């Protein structure tokens, strides 16, 4: 359970001449929910994209499940990990179930059709995301929240053990934020899926995570438990702005509010 499934050592990457990440090292254990927080431009999205194999020209050592990243073929990597990009109104003309079915790509070859195991994975992903009523709807007719659930469902249908997400609940209304959090937490706790998620909202990150890493100016600025992160001094050093913590009755963690003067 506590063996590292992702090990990152001295990961550095420059994009169009600017150093975005510099010597980032950390590891993520199997079955953990890890949140990555940090100010805009700290390199959170870049880090997730490096892990997802979208940016390839980084330096350093990354091992997934004990094997160096470069030794995986595209499909082999996709069987181990899936990725949910930032939503930002991305649409396509496929139906929800067609889109979710495309998550099965790494398990198929060019001329095989979907098998019973594929259908089972697709159905289960759609059901877990609560999208049964939207199966036949086209992706470009969905609301932002439903579409985000479909993106997560497609990633779940991929059947991989690691799920990488880039701001899964940003731009969503409160109900969909809650649906996303519940779905991700249940995937982690009940199915043992390792989750690495970039979060903008510290309270969401703290409520879901086992561990939190903060990036600042391309380097790890903090690592610790949610309880350690929900501390105004820690957050002020990460974000360079004032924070307050307010006790949240019935919850173990305090509620974090940015902006001291308000």
Partner 1 sequence: MKERLKNRGSDVLVAFSHAETAQRPRDEDVASTKALTPLAILLLLAMATLVFSPLFGMEFIPFSATGQEHKILMDIRIPRVLCAFVAGAMLSLSGMSFQALFRNPLATPFTLGVSSGAALGAAVFIRTGLAFVFLGISGTSLAAFGGALIAVVLVYGLTRIKGGFTTTTLLLAGIAISFFFSSLILLIQYTSGLSHSFRIIQWMMGSLTAADYGKLVNLLPFLGVGAALLLFLHREMNLLMVGEDIAISRGVNVGRVKKLIFLAASLMVGGVVAVCGPIGFVGMMSPHICRLLVGADHRFLTPASFLFGGLFLAICDTLARSLLDTTEIPVGVITALLGGPFFIWLLLSRKNELEL
Instruction: Examine residue 219 and tell whether it contacts partner 1 (CB under 8 A).
Output: no
Shortest Cβ distance from residue 115 to partner 1 (Å)?
Answer: 11
Nearer to partner 1, 83 or 222 (CB): 83
Q: Which residues of 75-99 are buried (b: 16+ CB within 10 A; e: fewer)?
A: eebbebbbbbbbbeeeeeeebbbbb
Q: Which of residues 28-87 bind partner 1 (CB under 8 A)?
A: 49, 52-54, 73-79, 81-83, 85
Name the segment binding partner 1 (CB under 8 A); options: 97-105, 210-218, 226-234, 246-254. Answer: 97-105
| Residue 120 binds partner 1, judged by CB under 8 A | yes
53 vs 224 by CB, closer to partner 1: 53
Segment (H or E) for 174: helix 174-191
Which lies closer to partner 1 via its Cβ, residue 1 or residue 110?
Answer: 110
Q: Which position has the token pair 């409160």?
A: 174
Q: Tell whether residue 133 is a contact of partner 1 (CB under 8 A).
A: no
Among 65, 98, 217, 242, binds partner 1 (CB under 8 A): 98
| C-alpha to C-alpha distance for 167 and 169, rounded to whole angstroms | 6
> In angstroms, what is the minimal distance from the CB of 256 to partner 1?
31
- Say whether 146 sits in a helix, a strand or coil: helix
Please state the closest distance from residue 19 (CB atom) to partner 1, in A. Answer: 19
251 contacts 199 by C-beta, under 8 angstroms: no
Structure tokens at 230: 């929900």
Question: Is residue 92 near partner 1 by the rule CB under 8 A?
Answer: yes
Which one of residues 14, 63, 94, 257 is an interface residue with partner 1 (CB under 8 A)?
A: 94
Integer Cα distance of 215 and 21 in angstroms: 9
13 close to 46: Cβ distance less than 8 angstroms: yes
Cα Rg of the chain, angstroms: 19
Q: Percentage helix, strand, coil, to 5, in the chain?
A: 40, 30, 35
Least separation in angstroms between CB 39 and partner 1: 23
- x/- letters, 142..181, toward partner 1 (CB under 8 A): -------------x--x-----x-----------------
For residue 252, with 0-12 CB atoms within 10 Å meaning exposed, 13-18 middle and 19 or more buried, which class applies?
A: exposed
3-state secondary structure of 94: coil
116 binds partner 1 (CB under 8 A): yes
Q: What six digits make up the tokens of 162?
A: 């690691």
Closer CB to partner 1, 92 or 143, in the complex: 92
CA neighbor of 206 nearest in space, from 166, 171, 255: 255
The site that binds partner 1 (CB under 8 A) totals a number of residues, namely: 43
Q: Which residues bind partner 1 (CB under 8 A)?
A: 49, 52-54, 73-79, 81-83, 85, 89-95, 97-99, 101-103, 105-106, 108, 110, 114, 116, 119-120, 123, 135-136, 140, 155, 158, 164
């Amino acid at each position: 359970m506590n063996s590292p499934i992702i090990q990152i050592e001295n990961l550095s990457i420059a994009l169009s001449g600017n150093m975005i990440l510099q010597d980032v090292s950390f590891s993520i254990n199997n079955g953990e929910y890890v949140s990555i927080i940090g100010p805009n431009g700290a390199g959170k999205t870049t880090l997730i994209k490096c892990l997802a194999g979208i940016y390839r020209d980084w330096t350093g050592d990354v091992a997934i499940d004990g094997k160096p990243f470069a030794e995986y073929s595209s499909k082999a990597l996709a069987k181990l990990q899936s990725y949910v990009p930032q939503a930002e109104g991305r649409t396509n003309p496929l139906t929800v179930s067609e889109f979710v079915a495309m998550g099965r790509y790494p398990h198929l070859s060019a001329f095989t059709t979907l098998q019973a195991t594929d259908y089972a994975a697709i159905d289960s992903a759609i059901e877990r995301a609560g999208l049964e009523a939207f199966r036949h709807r086209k992706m470009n007719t969905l609301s932002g929240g439903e579409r985000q659930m479909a993106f997560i469902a497609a990633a779940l249908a991929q059947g991989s053990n690691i799920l990488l997400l880039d701001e899964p609940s940003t731009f969503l209304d409160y109900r969909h934020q809650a649906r996303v959090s519940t779905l991700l937490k249940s995937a982690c706790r009940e199915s043992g899926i390792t989750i690495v998620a970039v979060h903008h909202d510290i309270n969401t990150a703290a409520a879901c995570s086992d561990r939190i890493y903060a990036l600042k100016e391309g380097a790890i600025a903090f690592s610790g438990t949610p309880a350690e992160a929900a501390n105004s001094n820690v957050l002020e050093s990460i974000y360079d702005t004032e924070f307050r913590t307010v006790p949240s009755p019935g919850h173990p963690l305090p509620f974090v509010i940015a902006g001291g003067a308000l």
